[in-house]
């Protein structure tokens, strides 16, 4: 059965966000939220494999790891689903209240991160590290780090970036902060990308800020555009590529 997303509603269109990709039985599977429904699609043909409705609105990106898919939504819950069937494995309540409070404060825009057997999910005021297998709470991290994706590093640490430009390197096992620095800029969807030993953070106002991973020391601060910038950067060889709201794509040579 081919997937047909429901209706022409603008809210439905806006809610379709970057997909998660996993594999079930050796076959690639694409996972994406649309409105209040989570869809899993066969990557080769785009056919619907399963769907889960009634989860609450989500504009965030699912994370896929092993046999589970992890999401957060505007009903206040983070969830894990079986990647093969969509069956809920566990849920964790991150926010509560009436529908208006949930719409403002839940994890509707969260991009889920995975690392060191934890799933990292967030609401507007706090991030949660949940046991990936059970959903049990491991630790929490204060700050509005829901919008810019958390970046998990190979040494069992993670970079958290708040919407107000506070960047923290956090130990995944304990939740302890290794270092923290304030960039005094706004950061939303773009977030950070790591290249070699530097994290490059893209600000809303067109700045590209480099931070040394080991201690948070700044390595550069070019203003590459005056347009608002929300797109996630990518690195090809030593060139960082990012697009801005004026429709211009910039290629920036990294040191």
Q: Considering the domain boundaries, does residue 236 fall inside one?
A: yes
pTM: 0.88
Per-residue confidence (pLDDT) for residue 21, from 0 to 100: 75
pLDDT over 90 percentage in the chain: 71
Per-residue confidence (pLDDT) for residue 18, from 0 to 100: 43
Per-residue confidence (pLDDT) for residue 104, from 0 to 100: 86
Half-sphere exposure of 76 (CA within 13 A, CB side): 11
* Burial of 190 from C-beta contacts in 10 A (0-12 / 13-18 / 19+): buried
Q: Considering the domain boundaries, does residue 167 fall inside one?
A: yes
Residues 92-111: b if buried by 16+ CB within 10 A, e if exposed: bebbeeeeeebbebbbbbbb
* Burial of 123 from C-beta contacts in 10 A (0-12 / 13-18 / 19+): buried
* Burial of 219 from C-beta contacts in 10 A (0-12 / 13-18 / 19+): middle
Instruction: Give the pLDDT band (50/70/90) at residue 66.
Output: confident
Instruction: Give the pLDDT band (50/70/90) at residue 9.
Output: very low
> Residues 6 or more apart from 39 whose CB is under 8 A from it?
3, 31, 32, 33, 48, 50, 51
- Tell me the CATH number at 209: 2.40.128.630
pLDDT tens by residue, 225-238: 999 999 889 999 99
Does the structure show a pLDDT above 60 at 89?
yes
What is the span of the domain harbouring residue 188? 147-255
pLDDT tens by residue, 15-27: 233 456 776 767 8
Q: In the chain, how many domains are there?
A: 1
Per-residue confidence (pLDDT) for residue 26, from 0 to 100: 78
Does the structure show a pLDDT above 50 at 6?
no
Q: Considering the domain boundaries, does residue 159 fall inside one?
A: yes
Q: Considering the domain boundaries, does residue 156 fall inside one?
A: yes
131-141: average pLDDT: 97
Q: Which of 72-86, 95-109, 144-158 has the lowest mean pLDDT?
A: 95-109
CB neighbourhood size of 198 (10 A): 19
Spatial separation of the C-alpha atoms in residues 17 and 3, rounded to whole Å? 16
Which residue matches tokens 């040394």?
212
35-53: average pLDDT: 92
Q: Considering the domain boundaries, does residue 19 fall inside one?
A: no
Does the structure show a pLDDT above 80 at 7?
no
Q: Considering the domain boundaries, does residue 27 fall inside one?
A: no
């Amino acid at each position: 059965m081919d997937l047909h997303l429901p209706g022409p509603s603008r809210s439905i269109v806006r809610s379709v966000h970057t997909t998660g990709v996993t594999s079930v039985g050796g076959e690639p599977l694409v996972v994406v939220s649309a409105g209040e429904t989570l869809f899993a699609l066969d990557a080769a043909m785009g056919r619907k494999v399963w769907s889960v409705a009634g989860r609450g609105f989500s504009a965030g990106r699912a994370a896929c790891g092993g046999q589970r898919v992890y999401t957060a939504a505007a009903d206040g819950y983070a969830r894990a689903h079986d990647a093969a069937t969509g069956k809920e494995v566990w849920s964790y309540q991150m926010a509560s209240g009436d529908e208006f409070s949930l719409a403002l404060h839940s994890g509707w825009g969260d991009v889920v991160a995975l690392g060191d057997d934890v799933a990292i999910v967030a609401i507007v005021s706090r991030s949660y590290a949940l046991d990936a297998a059970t959903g049990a709470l491991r630790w929490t991290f204060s700050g509005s780090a829901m919008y810019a994706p958390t970046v998990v590093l190979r040494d069992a640490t993670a970079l958290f970036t708040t919407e107000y430009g506070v960047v923290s390197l956090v130990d995944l096992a304990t939740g302890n902060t290794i270092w923290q620095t304030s960039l005094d800029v706004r950061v939303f969807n773009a977030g950070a990308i790591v290249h070699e030993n530097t994290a490059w953070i893209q600000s809303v106002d067109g700045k590209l800020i480099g931070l040394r991973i080991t201690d948070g020391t700044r390595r550069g601060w070019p203003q590459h555009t005056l347009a608002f910038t929300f797109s996630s950067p990518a690195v090809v060889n030593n060139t960082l590529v990012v697009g801005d709201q004026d429709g211009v794509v910039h290629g920036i040579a990294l040191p």
